[in-house]
Amino acid sequence: KKATMATAKATSLSGTVGGGTKIDAGAIAAPFRAEVREKVEALKAKGIDAPLLVGLLANTDPAARKYAEWTGKACRADGLRYELRSIDDPIDVESALMAANDDPNVHGIIVYYPIFGQVESFSGASQDDYLRDTVSFKCDVEGLCHTYRTNLYRNVRFLDYPTNTKKCVLPCTALSCVKILEQCPNCYDKSKPVGKHMEGQVVTVINRSEIVGRPLAAMLANDGADVYSIDINSIYLFRGGRLHKCEGETPESCVRKSSVVVTGVPTKAYRLPTDWIQPNTTVVNVASFKNVDEESLLQIPGVTYVPMVGKVTVAMLERNLVRLYENFHHPDIRLKTIRDEEEAKGGKAKAKAVAGSWFGSALQVYTAVAVTALVGIALSNKKR
C-alpha cells in the first residue's frame, strides 16, 4: 500500500517554465479510501456489518450541512454506514450525543460545529468545547476529545501502553495535512527514525484553532520540525515537545524562513503575500477560502501548492472510523473484553474465597485476635 501511495502525486503544472506545481488532493485521498473499502469488504465477507458513523447536525450553517452531505456520500461510496441525525434545538445536542455514546450499534460520532460558537458554558470556556470533550474516545472520529488531544500534545501514540496495540486517533483535518505533506517532495524523510521524519524542516502554520492549527503544529513538531504557530495576536514556536513564546518574530519573518507554509485563516479577505514565499516551498491551504493568490504563487520556482484538503480530510475521517472499530467495536474485540472482565471478576471472587477460607467472617477474625491476646497475657502473668 505504501508503494501505491507514491503514485498519488498526480500533479498538474501551472504557470511559466520553472514555475510551481499544483497538487490534486483527491489523488492523495484515493489510496486511503481504497484501503477502507478493502477492510469493509473483508468484514462483509465474514457476515459482519460495516462500521456505522452517526453525524449530529444542529445548526443552519450551509458549510456544515454541505460537509455532512459530503461525508455521507463518501461513506456510502466506500461501503461504510452513515446516519445523519438533525436536531432542531441545540440544547438537545448533549442528550443526543450521550445516547449515541451509549449505543453499542454506533461506532463513530461526528458533531458538526459551530453549534453554540463561543457562548459560555457552565462546563467550560464554551459549550462547543464541552461537547467535543463529551464525545466518547471510543467513538470520536474527529480525534478532538480530551483523551486524544492530551495524548497528542504529550506525543503519546498508543492508548494501551505498554502493549501498544491500540493506536490513538488524530484530528482528521490536521492529519490530512500530514498525509498530504508526506506525498509532497522534500517534506518528509521516512528513512529517518519515527519522530525525526521532518527533522531540519521549518514550518509556519497560520491558524491556532483547536480543530486544525494547534494539533497540526503539535503533530509536525512531534515529527521533528520547528513549527511557528501564528494567531491573530501572537507567535509561538513548537519545538521538541515544548511551546516557546517568540519575541521579535513577525508573520513575514516566519514565512520567509519556512520550507512549509500552511494557511488556515477562515476569512475571505485574508491573503498571504506571495513575495514572502521562498523558492521550493510547499504551501497548503486548509481554509475554506483561498488564503493565497494561486496564479502569482505558482510563478515561484519549485513551489508545491495544495489548494484544498477536504477530500483527504474525509478519507482520514473514514480511516479513523475503521481504527475505532478495530480498537473497540469489532465482535472479536468485544468478546475479548467480556472474557477479560469475567476473568477479572473471577479472580476477585477467588481471592475473596481464599480470604474467607483463611479467616472466615469478620467476627471470627476479631474472636481469634482477642483469644490470642488473652492467651498471651495469661502466659505472661504465669511467668511472673
β-strands 235-239, 242-245: how paired?
antiparallel
Q: Cis peptide leading into 114, omega within 30 of 0?
A: yes
- Collapse the DSSP code of 203 into the 3-class scheme (helix H, G, I; strand E, B; otherwise coil) and give the result: strand
Measured between alpha carbons, how far is 225 from 196 in angstroms, rounded to an integer?
8
114 closest CA partner among 174, 173, 62, 169: 62
> What residues contact 93, with CB distance under 8 A and at least 6 apart?
56, 58, 87, 111, 115, 131
Measured between alpha carbons, how far is 266 from 287 in angstroms, rounded to an integer?
6
Of the candidates 75, 172, 187, 254, the residue annotated as catalytic is 172
Amino acid at 305: Y
Check if the beta carbon of residue 309 is closer than 8 Å to that of residue 286. yes
> What residues contact 147, with CB distance under 8 A and at least 6 apart?
137, 140, 159
Check if the beta carbon of residue 124 is closer than 8 Å to that of residue 112. no
Is 139 designated active site?
A: no
Residue 107: Cβ-neighbour burial (10 angstroms; 0-12, 13-18, 19+):
buried
Check if the beta carbon of residue 236 is closer than 8 Å to that of residue 213. no
Transcribe 146-197 into DSSP letters. HHHHHHHHTT--BSSTTT--SBPP--HHHHHHHHHHHHSTTT--TTSPTT-T
Residues classed as catalytic = 172
